[in-house]
Amino acid sequence: MEVIVNKWRNFAGKVFDESIITLVENAIIKEQGAGHRLKICVGSDSQAYKTHVAYGTAIVILREGKGGFMFIKNEKGTTEIGVKERMLREVTLSVETAYSICDLLEKYQVELEVHADINTDSKFASNVALKEAMGYILGMGFVFKAKPYAFASSSCADKVV
C-alpha cells in the first residue's frame, strides 16, 4: 500500500516543519509555564473513498478546565481495505504517534490517552475490531478510550479526513 504523508499542522492550517516531538515538547513547556495542568489524547479516524482511504491523526492537548488545541496530520492510503483492517490501521497510527511522544509525557508528567474510533455497541460495523484494538493499546501500556469517550478520534481527527 502506498501512503502519502503530510506534515503536522494546527487546526487553523499552519504547517510546521518541526518534528512532532519538538512541537509537543514546546507546547508542554509553554502551557505548564502558564500554570496549566495538561492531558494529551491521541486519536485517528479514516474515510473510505472509491480511489483511496484518507486517514487523519490528532494529538489533542487539553488544559484542565481551560480548553485545548491540537496538532493534526493526514495520510492517504491508495488501496481499498475492509472495515476491521481500516479500524486497526487507525489504531496503529494512534499508537505509533503516542509511542513517539510518550518519553516526553513521562518527563513532564503529562497524562496520555489513546482514543479509538470504534463503537462499543456490536450493532455497528467498527465493533469487529474492538477486542484487538483494546488489546493493542492496553498492551502498549496506554490508557484506552472507545466511543462515546474517544473524542480525539471521533470528533477531532474526524474533522480532518
Q: Which of 101, 92, 112, 116 is nearest to 38 (CA)?
A: 112
Model pLDDT for residues 147-160, shown as the tens digit of each residue: 999 999 999 999 88
Q: Decide if 129 contacts 88 (C-beta within 8 A).
A: yes
**pLDDT of 6 strictly over 80:** no
Q: Three cell numbers at 154?
A: 471521533
pLDDT reported for residue 93 = 96
The values of phi and psi at residue 61, to 5°, are -105, 110
Tell me the average pLDDT across 99-114: 97
Region of 16 (left: φ > 0; alpha: ψ -120 to 50; beta: rest) is beta
pTM for the full predicted model: 0.91
Model pLDDT for residues 40-63, shown as the tens digit of each residue: 999 999 998 888 999 999 999 999
- For residue 35, give every residue at least 6 positions away whose Cβ sits within 8 Å of its Cβ, in sequence order, or none: none
Q: Three cell numbers at 16?
A: 510546521
In the chain, the percentage of residues whose pLDDT exceeds 70 is: 96
